[in-house]
Amino acid sequence: MMITETSSQEFHLFVERPADGAAVAGLAPGELANKLVVPAGVWCLQVTAEQGPQLLRLPPETMASAVLLEASFAHRPQPRLLALTPGVQILRVNGQPAPRLAVLTERDTFQVNDDWIFHVAIFNRPRIGPPGPELIGRPCPVCLVPFAAGAKVQLCHCGAAFHCEEPGGLECIQMNAECQACGRPFVLTAGYTALPELIHA
């Protein structure tokens, strides 16, 4: 099976109720809720006292009750999560008042209306497998050996490919800590590069 997945990273938001908040939707104050996965595209983060936080594909009836989120993986070397508050929502990033358009990165926290707290994390999913037709014959950036149909490669988040053979073969991915094209660190196993401190407590 060839590598067909278009995104090897996702933004995940770990949701926390502040310690002085009231219990909402079965979540006690100070408790960490399930995470929200931010898919590609523009999403509306709606926070209500009755239902808690939700990600909606279509904007709510009044934009005053939503924060618009869009994940961007084009920046080097750090992906960005854009947060726009078009209405009356008050956004704080890392405890400080934020402008209407805020740029968030991994390990940031943001808070909506001094209530719900969102911890920003990035989930990495390595893309390893045979090269696609567009890569056959192209040289590996490390060893300059062209990719063959039977090769095993890993794609970086930016789309650059590197040999990732078993021991005894071409292990170019192991020779560099980061991608030569975009500067992001290579991720060889699925998981988070950083998690909120609350999870480790």
Residue 91's CATH number: 2.60.200.20
Domain presence at residue 57? yes
Quote the pLDDT of residue 113: 80
For residue 174, being part of any structural domain is answered with: no
Token readout for 70 is: 């869009």
51: burial class by Cβ within 10 Å (0-12, 13-18, 19+)? exposed
Q: Indicate whether this model's pTM tops 0.85.
A: no
Per the structure, the complete domain to which residue 47 belongs is given by 9-125
Residue 39 lies in a domain: yes
Mean pLDDT of 179-186: 77
Residue 40 lies in a domain: yes
Q: What does the mean pLDDT of the chain come to?
A: 79
Mean pLDDT of the 169-184 span: 78
pLDDT at 116: 83
Query: What is the reported pLDDT for 7?
Result: 54
31 pLDDT band (50/70/90 cuts)?
A: very low
The answer to whether position 55 is within a domain reads yes
pLDDT for 30 equals 46
Share of the chain above pLDDT 70, in %: 81
- The confidence band for 76, taking pLDDT boundaries of 50, 70 and 90, is low
Structural domain includes residue 107: yes
Confidence of residue 141 (pLDDT cuts 50, 70, 90): confident
Residue 43 placed within a domain: yes
Across-strand partners of 36? 13
- Cα torsion for 85, 89, 94, 99, to the nearest 10°? 40
Q: Is 131 a member of any domain?
A: no
Q: Is pLDDT of 55 > 80?
A: yes
Please tell me the total number of residues recorded for the chain in this structure: 201
What does the pLDDT read at residue 6? 41
Report the number of distinct structural domains present in the chain: 1
Tokens of 122: 């990035």
pLDDT band at 102 (very low <50, low <70, confident <90, very high): very high
Q: Is pLDDT at 137 greater than 80 in this prediction?
A: yes
- Name every residue whose Cβ is closer than 8 Å to that of residue 51 and which is 6 or more positions away in sequence: 25
